[in-house]
Amino acid sequence: MILNNTKLHNPFLAWLIISFLLVYLMIIVGGITRLTDSGLSITEWQLFNGILPPLNSSEWNYYFSLYKKIPQFKLLNYNMSLSEFKIIFFWEYGHRLLGRIIGLFFLIPLIFFTIKKVINKKYLINFYIIFLLIIFQGIIGWYMVKSGLTNDVSVSHYRLALHLSVAFIIISSIYWNFLNIINKNNIKFFVFLKMSLFFQILLYLVFVQIVLGALVSGLDAGKLYQTWPLMNSSFVPEGLNLTHLKNLYNFNDRSLVQFYHRNTAYFISLYFIFIGILIWRYKFVYLYKKYLIILFFFTLQIILGIYTLISGLNIYLAFSHQFSSVLLFLSVLYLNFHYYKENINNISQIKGK
């Protein structure tokens, strides 16, 4: 058992659920911050003195004057007014404030549960690793922002992808521990059972696709080819030479990144059909509903992706596309958990005999 103290079972679950929802909200706000190009509006780290927003006109003018010094303002937003600046400022401010709230909300109850010995010592480290990831995420966030303050009008797409990747690792870690507790299991994700690798690969593929999506977003690669199913008039965009090895990993090439993002979706579609056949072939009845849940979110994600593209990157569709990617990823994780749960329990029963 992960928990020792059953009296604090419900408060502990409430803490995990709220932490999960806060991280989910953080991903949503982060996506909006990126889509509205708000991430560079605050040009200083301000770990402590940035808790409160500007409270008077002189403070607002100070922050605006700092923003005027960076390339994004000089090259793109030189006509921006103070009132327009306030809009992008509050998205970035909300993103940073939410990060502080998550860190404190996760740490303070965790210390309390540690003192009260609620969590089994064997599993206590899992939750402190999650907290360290939250801290690490804040550092990556500033590392990402710094990349857009001197020589570019936006942040590094590599750092953006790293920032999003860690966010998915955090939310999936919280979710996996939550599933363990409510199902009274101690299942580790990286345990290999018969055929478990097939289900893990699906999760890895979705994760890779999300990372590619972050690269597409960071490079504004979606603005290049806004047609589907072809990229303008061809499957492989003109000028993209895939015959040379060095061209295959040039992730600064916007055409290549969008090409990969599209074709990874096609590959995942085929692999997802294969998983469905596997589940049906071996009569994994307990996975039928889980598979249908994934099918719903996967179909939704594809539709939103296509319409985001052909709409000229409509911000509401783009936001919905990012929002649903989290649900898709978690639904695949949910299927993985229940495959482990069923098979580990069966192994335990056999050993018990």
pLDDT of residue 345: 64
> Can you tell me the distance from the alpha carbon of 176 to that of 331, in angstroms, rounded to the nearest whole number?
11
pLDDT of residue 270: 98
DSSP assignment of 67-93 equals HTTSHIIIII-TT--HHHHHHHHHHHH
Query: Residue 105 — very low, low, confident or very high, per pLDDT cuts 50/70/90?
Result: very high
Q: Collapsing DSSP states into helix, strand and coil, what is residue 231?
A: strand
Share of the chain above pLDDT 70, in %: 97
> Which of 273-276's residues contact partners 24+ apart within 8 Å by CB, and which partners?
274/198, 275/198, 275/199, 275/202
**Closest CA relative to residue 178, chosen from 337, 292, 24, 325:** 337
70 close to 39: Cβ distance less than 8 angstroms: no
Query: Residue 17 — very low, low, confident or very high, per pLDDT cuts 50/70/90?
Result: very high
pLDDT in tens, 63-99: 999 999 999 999 999 999 999 999 999 999 999 999 9
Query: Residue 353 — very low, low, confident or very high, per pLDDT cuts 50/70/90?
Result: very low
Averaged pLDDT of the chain: 91
pLDDT in tens, 119-130: 888 889 999 999
Q: Which residues are CB-contacts of 253 (< 8 A; sequence separation ≥ 6)? A: 240, 247
Q: Which residues are CB-contacts of 278 (< 8 A; sequence separation ≥ 6)? A: 195, 198, 284
203 close to 329: Cβ distance less than 8 angstroms: yes
pLDDT of residue 346: 61
Q: Which helix (H) or strand (E) holds 7?
A: none
Query: Residue 349 — very low, low, confident or very high, per pLDDT cuts 50/70/90?
Result: very low
Q: Which residues are bridge partners to 234 per DSSP?
A: 231
Cα of 337 vs its chain's centroid, Å: 19
Q: Collapsing DSSP states into helix, strand and coil, what is residue 228?
A: coil
**Closest CA relative to residue 325, chosen from 115, 140, 165:** 165
Side-chain-facing half-sphere of 69: CA atoms under 13 Å: 11
Q: How long is the chain?
A: 353
| The token pair that represents 213 in the structure block | 């999506």
pLDDT of residue 151: 84
**Closest CA relative to residue 215, chosen from 255, 167, 178, 267:** 255
* Highest averaged pLDDT of the listed ranges 8-12, 47-51, 203-207: 203-207
pLDDT of residue 9: 85
pLDDT of residue 334: 97
147 close to 156: Cβ distance less than 8 angstroms: yes
pLDDT in tens, 40-62: 999 988 777 778 889 999 999 99
pLDDT of residue 153: 86
φ/ψ (deg, to 5) at 181: -70, -45
Average pLDDT over residues 271-275: 97
* Residue 331 pLDDT greater than 70, yes or no: yes
Cα angle value 153/168/21 (rounded, 5°) = 105
pLDDT of residue 351: 43
* Residue 350 pLDDT greater than 50, yes or no: no
Q: Which residues are CB-contacts of 349 (< 8 A; sequence separation ≥ 6)? A: none
Q: Which residues are CB-contacts of 6 (< 8 A; sequence separation ≥ 6)? A: none
Q: What is the CA radius of gyration of the chain?
A: 22
**Closest CA relative to residue 217, chosen from 297, 140, 318:** 318
pLDDT of residue 3: 79
Query: Residue 1 — very low, low, confident or very high, per pLDDT cuts 50/70/90?
Result: low
Instruction: Note the pTM of the prediction, 2 decimals.
Output: 0.93
Give the count of beta carbons closer than 10 Å to the beta carbon of residue 78. 9
Q: Of residues 350 and 180, which shows the higher confidence score?
A: 180
